[in-house]
Structure 1
Amino acid sequence: MTGRAAARTDKVLPAPPHTQAGARPGTVSFGSFRVDHARRLLLRDGEPVRVGSRALDLLIALVDRAGDVVGKHELLDVVWKGVVVDEAAVRVHLASLRRALGDGRDGARYIVNIPGRGYSFVAPIARDEPKAHPPQAEPPVARSIGPVPAPSRAPIGRDHVIGSLSELLLTRRFVSVVGAGGIGKTTVAAAIAQRLRSEFGDDNVVFVDFGAVSEPELVLGAITSAVGCAVGGADPFAELLTFLDEKRMLIVFDSCEHLVDQTSQLAGKLYQRAPSVHMLITSRESLRVEGETVHLLSPLAYPADEKPTAAEALATPAVQLFMDRAAFSGFHGELTDGDAPVVAEICRRTDGIALAIELAASRVGTYGIHGVASLLAGNMELSLTGRRNVVARHRTLEAMLDWSFNLLAEDERRILCRLSVFVGLFTMEAACSVAGDGEQDAAVAATLASLVDKSLVWVQPEGEGVFYRLPDMTRAYARGRLDESDTSGSIADRHARYFAALFKAIALEHGAYTDIGRYVPHIGNVRKALEWSFSSDDRHAIGVELAADSAPLFLGLWLLTESSHWARRALEVAKGVSDLPRREVRLLEALAVSTMHTLGNTQEVRNAIERGLNLSDTEGGGLTQLRLLAGLNLFLTRLGDFDGALAAAKRSGAIAAKSGTPGDRVIAEWILAAAYHMAGDQAAALDHCERGFMLEANVGQLEINLFGYDHHLRAELARARALSLRGAPVAASQLVLEAMDRASRSSLPGDYSMAAAHGIPVLLWSGSVDQSGEHIERLLAHAERHALKSHAAAALVLRGERLLLLGESPAGLETLREALNMLVRERFHMIIPAASRSLAEALAQCGNHGEAAATVDGAISSATKMSQRFYLPDLLRTRGEILLRGPSPDVEAAEAAFRSSIELARDQSATAWELKAAVPLARLLLQQGRDAEAQALLGSIYEAHPEKDGTRELTEAAHILRRAPREPD
């Protein structure tokens, strides 16, 4: 590409000599050849010679100046007017022309190269001049009209659009393809025109590239020249209509956005008065005239998943285009699963705009896929250059956007630049507030609508609302323009204040998470506003307000790291800029929730909760206290302080009773249900569960999300676990399966991890080894994906327990050791007793009886010390079984352990755990010949079970009870 050629790309150049006004050539003959100018044919002995359009243009240019030396640049200006090409194009097409003429064969000489100067036609010629015509009313336009440009490669991802628009064009006659610059409008139009050649005939499909036409008065001339109409009268349009009368023709008007007024008038008239003419328009905005059918060309689809596989990525046209163009850049590798997310992100960043994708892909051969991603991350996309043989406005994204920007009115430019402050989606209200300059909202709205019409702003419906966004490339360009102005800082300040006011008005309280979808589109702008607000001391007050009021948004989207970051940042400066304790409480709650789920059960979590409770006591906020007490209950439960968790639950009950609102009472009942379950009172747990569900039935189902969990789900799990321990394993298993299924569809990752971590034990208690396996592995993958370390450790415990049930003791032992280490690191003491019990059982199964006994004794001592009564029945039952397995069984101590287990289980109303200890005790009694005692022991416990099957213990108890008692000696 030469700078000279590039500089003249968008100008309308003089017509070639053979088409100048007044020079109406007929035919020129040389040797056995004849050039028919009017019909644009090269004939040999009267028969057409197949020769390319550009080659024929070169021949005409050289023949018209036969005997003269014509320079390469002059030939470029004449033949490739308005198109940027390399000088090599002249050599290529001349070589083709020489072959067609047989130049150099049998002594024939037609075209010679004059080194350093150009080319000359040297054969004798004879001219046959046509009859004179009246002078033309308008000079013809550049040679960017006429033949339909053939696409260099098949369009990717547009087959359906090309097919449907081809059919639509035949029936509607007047179709406009509208879309953003570089999206592929010309490519689609050219493909449609090529497809319809057989329908209209080669001579009746013409292409007018208005991108090479800069003056409005040349529009009509461009059309008349393209269709082959010789205009010479006072009314060129009337002559055009006469010429087109009864001609069935397809005319493509390409790149009309800068001449939209003139092209719309002509297209509208042609539609009305030339009924056999079909028109296909490409523009960045519709013509808005009668008869026009508008098709909005969509961006190429790219993977919705952030981490697609190679196969998933290649199923989308954006990635297909990227890899296709990357191959032409010299990249010869296949797309791998590791690179697929990177390519998907590149396509997302380019908004699926074909030109942007091609420009990025053109660098893959040099930089590689990850290198190109780094270039884009450094905002290099606007300056990447593309092919040299395209019009200048498509050579870089910046040039393309310059073209669009320069077509805008002053108010459109100003509003577009100011809209670049938004990240992602924004509303009309936000645009008017931030981008306006004292104008009425209606004026800003009208300008925004105009920018939408010009495809510089996209409309994106979300739920029941309508949002707007700038494509990423347009935003980056406009942001650069805004930064050059002196209003950049004031617009950013308006932006931050608008979103602070918006979230203050929303005042997200109870129920915010269930309606979170309404606020999700604002997340990018909230981030931007927070960054701006905390970047300077004089803006901290805005940042504190916004951080507090938007905290539920981050928590609801499970953006925990960001939540804790902004909460800490705001709390650092809150005392100096805010005198509202409720904002500090909300920040403390956000910090506690996010930290508990990301860093574990740290002292920082407890401090934040207790500080928040003290402040909320001062403020008298009942609902705020309930949320914090729910958090304290969860925190203490996870720490294994079940008595402390129950005390927090009772405090919530007192607050709910004081407020008297049904919603508060439901929350309190469910917190109490979970607390009583872990405190070891299953009857009370079920009672509070049912009270909560009954209250909920009167007010409608509530989805109460507190501290990252759905408390309705938490209550369902407490009910299922309590039912299982009360002797209904089948019903309990069904409940937890349903709960896990519902939780898997929750937007909060913590819901499924909680459901699985506390639901799978119910399956294992009933011996459902096969059913539990899938859920255990799913829980582990889910916890690792979302960095939920505590629940990942819980999943390992469950995997180890399942391995023991399968008889794979060594593997189970290794897994349980790893799990216990993780539990200690995460301070997830809630399930350490269960993990220790399983570890002791694994050690015993592997023959390590001494270590097994020491492990279970240590767990019993720790549970007793921490008042973890919930686990003591199962720990004591395991101790009894270990005592019987050792090399020297201690039968008396084992029996005492079993009886203590039964007694403690009975105190907890845990009928299942009573039976679990009674079965090995009954076996021991049977071995000692105490059959009647064994049956008496089992009979009452077995009968207390509402379900008589569903666990191994129930099956064995039934078997024992069927045995006839032995008579005493």
Structure 2
Amino acid sequence: MWDESNPDTGKSLYFGPFQLIASERLLAKNGKQVAIGGRALDILIALTQRPGEILTGDELTKLVWRGLTVEDSNLRVHIASLRKALADGEDDTRYVLNVAGRGYTFAAPIRREPVTPERSPTAETSEPRSQSLPHALPSLFGRTETVNVLSLLVLSRRFVTVVGPGGIGKTTVAVAVAYSLRQEFEERAIYFVDLTLIQDAKQVPNAVASALGCFVQGPEVEPFILAFVSGKKILVVLDNCEHVISAAAALAERLFHAAPSLHLLATSREALRVDGENVHLLLPLDTPRGEVTTASQALGSPAVKLFMEKAASSGHRLSLTDAEAPTVANICRRLDGIALAIELVASRVGTFGIQGTFDLMGNDAELQLQGRRNAVPRHQTLQGMLDWSYNLLSNIEQEVLSRLSIFVGQFTFEAAIEVAGSSEDTIRTTNAIASLVDKSLVWISPADGVITYRLLDTTRVYAAAKLAASGETHAVAMRHAQYFADFLKMRETEDLVSHGHNVEAYAPHIGNIRQALGWCFSSSGNVCIGIELTSHAAPLFLASFPLLAECSNWCSKAMATLLPSDRGQRRELYLQKALALSSMYLWDDSEKVKAALERGLELSEKLGEDRLQHYLLLGLNVFFTRRGEFASALGVAKRAAALSEKFGGVAENAMSEWALAASHHVAGNQSAAVMHGERGFRLAVNTAPSEFVYFGYDYHVRALGTYARSLWISGAQTKGIAKAREAISRVIDSSHPVLFCAVLLDSIPVMHWGGQSEEAFLFCEQVIAHAVRYSLHAQKAVGLALRGELMIARGEVEPGVNMLRDALKTMGDNQYHVQTLATRRALAEGLRRLGDYDEALFMINDALNQADQASTTLWLPSLLHAKGEVLMAISTPSAEAEACLTRSIEIARRQNALSWELGAATSLARIWAQKGKSAEAKSLILAVHSRFNGDIEAWEVSSARQLLDELR
């Protein structure tokens, strides 16, 4: 983005409290660095280079997204992000102005001064752009030039595989490359996929989706990954592909071709050998050349530097002497500069000294290490080194190391003792693990004050082969699975994580739980342990949205193998509950969702699980609402209210009130909706917010969106818009994608109805982007429908109509009918504006028929009003139009839908005025208009006032 030839090179730009150094990509406020996304910063640089000039959207797009084709919505989103970073608009200070129909301009005065050290703010070190990216090593011996070359190659060629033998440092280099490229990608746009955590090649797409945070619906994962990465400039690091090479290669090739903005960096012991791949052979670390006579000469080699650092970690505190330098140089040459081999050998120096370690190497068989491994089988590259290291261990150390290979990723000391040790002699096991840590065969991973352990991948694979040779694999796998079943059972994960408590504490265990479940339900596994483990692990999967598909999968497997003794018991109930909730959020099969919910309700009632029955009723209420079965939703809400009144506390009764409010709202009774909503909010005043959160879904925040709609429709327009804003502000940082979309989709129409169309459009873009990211097809369709309606309102009628048509089809395909009638009404309005009166009339009549069949009354006043407008366009005045508008007014009055009543009354009054009945028209409008507060200039209110002025 930054042009070195620009006259601002080497200068600081000052405006307001801000300082911008474009050449350093640094924005500061009052001397402190401002957090700002890369694209937003590019836009700021472009605008400040030409202050006062109007840059069109196309000009900005070409400057910021060079060579890429992006949607206008991307520019609007990043302009909004820039304004937020600048606090644009606060205290009446404006920086970036939107000139309607022309583009954007930077409006603030700018002062330019040379950059001097004393005037240059200190840039804080940025955090990695993805939480999944491992921490970079503080020392990167001999790899700086390699990292620079790879960084340029990844940017220019997009698909690079780092190839080399095990232990050579491929992961370390890949992580360093990712860190070096942070400024080239958008905020949080670098994703690290550790494939060592999976065993089954079929799970590669799941691992990628989980790392991306991609929301998956249904068994086919890849289409959702493709949808997630499409159009985004992101970097995906696929680490350790060799054990799932075919699956990783095939997925990488398809991603590369399907997503032109995607960049891939893979590490593997062999090339992926697919189209588009650029192979970079990672060479060993440089070792000392020629005769070494001094320590200074030896330490000029990266391999020797690494050796001495790891020797110090093993307890060797002495500096390298000139006398020892030739010996260390010989060791590093003997190990061919393989980083992991050097680390493992150096870890013995604390015990045997430098010469003693060299003698051990001489006494043992020659290490079979190669700089390249083109012709050697898998796992052979480090075989000799690992054999040698393994043979140095005592019998108990060898036994424990081989058993530890059953773990994937991190594991705790307690888990290691239970799975790899002996109940008869825990002291010996403890000492063995400590020794393995000292010898760098087991690595310590401190995180958030908790110490966990892990085996390097090559070590784990080697040790697993030893475990298989011992004939203990089955027994150790069973102990591993039983340990995690007992571990979760003792901690009662349902209560710990259901309200959002301690979820992060279980994150390190997910890989091992997944591994244990995979073994349990395999042909050689133990389904009894699998069923038990699934029932206790399900809350953890429910608490993480990228894992919902897995939750549904494991619960289905457990249900299919459930023991007769567990049928109709609590275990089945908990599995049904998890299956129902995960399936409902995924919305992959509505009949499956319904069956799971109803079976769970049957069991919870039978077993007297009132609290669980209440949550399942709330879920069934949401299910019926999504399907457009509003009468059924209201019936279920009443059941939930009756149950919570019998057993529940404040939280349960408040959630029941909100369910009743939502159900009355969609059923067309706004007075009842407002009443029940307010009852719920009064109950919630003195209750902890977490009490209303269930597996990340905040019922309190969700209720605000529905309440805002009911308020606005009932005529409390000012309060309705205020509550819509509150709901949006409360959910904007939510990690629950369904909640985020639901609240915004409820609130956006209120903003639109209240004349806040620009804000509504911006929020609409956010919800669409969120739905795309998490593959929420139904929510995306509703977002597109609202966008289409907004486009029609702003005069972009034809593209708006096309968008509404597509959205309607997607809603139908997903059996998501809560918004279909509103979408048909908006489509009819668009068709009317296009002059296609026949299709508009057909569309609105079809919607009215559907409303009658489904006993749906919420949208009847609006639908009848829309039909009246179409009929007026066909023939003015029209008796049939009068009849429709009269009926709209009557139904709106019964619903206490004052805003809709005023809209229909205004249209009817216009007909009467044209027929010479001005007095009656004026009286009709005044009768409705007088019931408003008069402090909102919504369309209905302003239109009524305009007509009153005309009649006067």
TM bucket normalised to smaller: 0.5 to 0.7
Match of 1:214 in 2: none
Q: 1:766 aligns with which of 742, 754, 759?
A: 754
1:345 maps onto 2:331 in alignment: no
Deviation at 1:939, TM superposition (A): 2.4
Match of 1:582 in 2: 570
The residue correspondences of 1:17-56 to structure 2 (distance < 5 A) are: none
- 3-state SS of the aligned residue for 2:818? helix
Match of 1:125 in 2: none
Match of 1:898 in 2: 885
Deviation string 1:567-601 (CA, Å, 9 cap, x unpaired) is 11111111436356222122222222333343446
Q: Which amino acid aligns with 2:498?
A: A
1:456 maps onto 2:349 in alignment: no
Q: Which amino acid aligns with 1:479?
A: A
- 3-state SS of the aligned residue for 2:465? helix
The residue correspondences of 1:728-877 to structure 2 (distance < 5 A) are: 728-877=716-865
Deviation string 1:881-912 (CA, Å, 9 cap, x unpaired) is 111011x3452221222222122122222221
The residue correspondences of 1:678-717 to structure 2 (distance < 5 A) are: 678-702=666-690, 704-706=692-694, 709-717=697-705
Match of 1:562 in 2: 550
Alpha-carbon separation, structure 2, partners of 1:190 and 1:337: 32
Match of 1:508 in 2: 493
Q: Give ranges in structure 2 of 5+ residues lacking alignment.
A: 1-122, 124-133, 147-168, 194-228, 244-263, 283-332, 343-366, 372-380
Match of 1:916 in 2: 903
TM-score scaled by length of structure 1:
0.61
Q: Give ranges in structure 1 of 5+ residues lacking alignment.
A: 1-159, 161-178, 192-283, 285-296, 320-335, 351-356, 376-384
Deviation string 1:812-866 (CA, Å, 9 cap, x unpaired) is 1211111111111111111111111111111111111112112111111210221
Alpha-carbon separation, structure 2, partners of 1:882 and 1:938: 21
Deviation at 1:363, TM superposition (A): 5.8
Between the aligned residues of both structures, percent identity stands at: 37
Deviation at 1:542, TM superposition (A): 1.2
Deviation at 1:184, TM superposition (A): 6.7
Alpha-carbon separation, structure 1, partners of 2:749 and 2:770: 17
In the alignment of these two chains, the number of paired residues is 650
Deviation at 1:646, TM superposition (A): 0.7
Q: Which amino acid aligns with 1:512?
A: S
Name the CA shift for 1:311/1:824 in 2 (closer, same or farther; >3 Å): closer
Name the CA shift for 1:625/1:363 in 2 (closer, same or farther; >3 Å): closer
On the 8 A contact 2:182/2:190 being kept in 1, the answer is no
Name the CA shift for 1:466/1:304 in 2 (closer, same or farther; >3 Å): farther
Name the CA shift for 1:598/1:698 in 2 (closer, same or farther; >3 Å): closer
Alpha-carbon separation, structure 1, partners of 2:426 and 2:767: 51
On the 8 A contact 2:500/2:695 being kept in 1, the answer is no
The residue correspondences of 1:355-754 to structure 2 (distance < 5 A) are: 360=267, 370=277, 395=371, 396-402=381-387, 404-463=389-448, 465-509=450-494, 512-515=498-501, 516-536=503-523, 539-558=526-545, 559-576=547-564, 578-579=566-567, 581-600=569-588, 602-702=590-690, 704-706=692-694, 709-754=697-742
Alpha-carbon separation, structure 1, partners of 2:188 and 2:386: 29
Name the CA shift for 1:470/1:513 in 2 (closer, same or farther; >3 Å): farther
Deviation string 1:623-679 (CA, Å, 9 cap, x unpaired) is 110111011101100111111101101111111111132222222122222212212
Deviation string 1:267-318 (CA, Å, 9 cap, x unpaired) is xxxxxxxxxxxxxxxxx9xxxxxxxxxxxx998745889x999757999999
1:925 maps onto 2:892 in alignment: no
Deviation at 1:706, TM superposition (A): 4.9
Deviation at 1:477, TM superposition (A): 2.9
Name the CA shift for 1:317/1:489 in 2 (closer, same or farther; >3 Å): closer
Name the CA shift for 1:954/1:451 in 2 (closer, same or farther; >3 Å): farther
Name the CA shift for 1:303/1:466 in 2 (closer, same or farther; >3 Å): farther
Name the CA shift for 1:715/1:461 in 2 (closer, same or farther; >3 Å): farther
Q: Which amino acid aligns with 2:790?
A: R
Name the CA shift for 1:934/1:828 in 2 (closer, same or farther; >3 Å): same
- 3-state SS of the aligned residue for 1:699? coil
RMSD: 4.1
- 3-state SS of the aligned residue for 2:819? helix
Name the CA shift for 1:469/1:837 in 2 (closer, same or farther; >3 Å): same
On the 8 A contact 2:626/2:817 being kept in 1, the answer is yes
On the 8 A contact 1:309/1:341 being kept in 2, the answer is no
- 3-state SS of the aligned residue for 2:466? helix
Alpha-carbon separation, structure 2, partners of 1:496 and 1:938: 72
Alpha-carbon separation, structure 2, partners of 1:369 and 1:513: 46
- 3-state SS of the aligned residue for 1:698? coil
On the 8 A contact 1:919/1:938 being kept in 2, the answer is yes
Alpha-carbon separation, structure 2, partners of 1:549 and 1:474: 31
The worse-fitting range, judged by mean Cα deviation, of 449-458 and 667-676 is: 449-458
- 3-state SS of the aligned residue for 1:519? helix
Deviation at 1:471, TM superposition (A): 3.2
1:943 maps onto 2:925 in alignment: no
Alpha-carbon separation, structure 2, partners of 1:904 and 1:313: 50
Deviation at 1:794, TM superposition (A): 0.8
- 3-state SS of the aligned residue for 2:444? strand
Deviation at 1:408, TM superposition (A): 3.5
Deviation string 1:37-62 (CA, Å, 9 cap, x unpaired) is xxxxxxxxxxxxxxxxxxxxxxxxxx
TM-score scaled by length of structure 2:
0.62
Alpha-carbon separation, structure 2, partners of 1:945 and 1:183: 66
Alpha-carbon separation, structure 1, partners of 2:808 and 2:135: 57
The residue correspondences of 1:129-144 to structure 2 (distance < 5 A) are: none
The higher-RCO structure (CA 8 Å, 6+ apart) is 2
Q: Which amino acid aligns with 1:345?
A: L
Deviation at 1:190, TM superposition (A): 15
Name the CA shift for 1:745/1:474 in 2 (closer, same or farther; >3 Å): farther
Q: Which amino acid aligns with 1:547?
A: T
Q: Which amino acid aligns with 2:398?
A: R
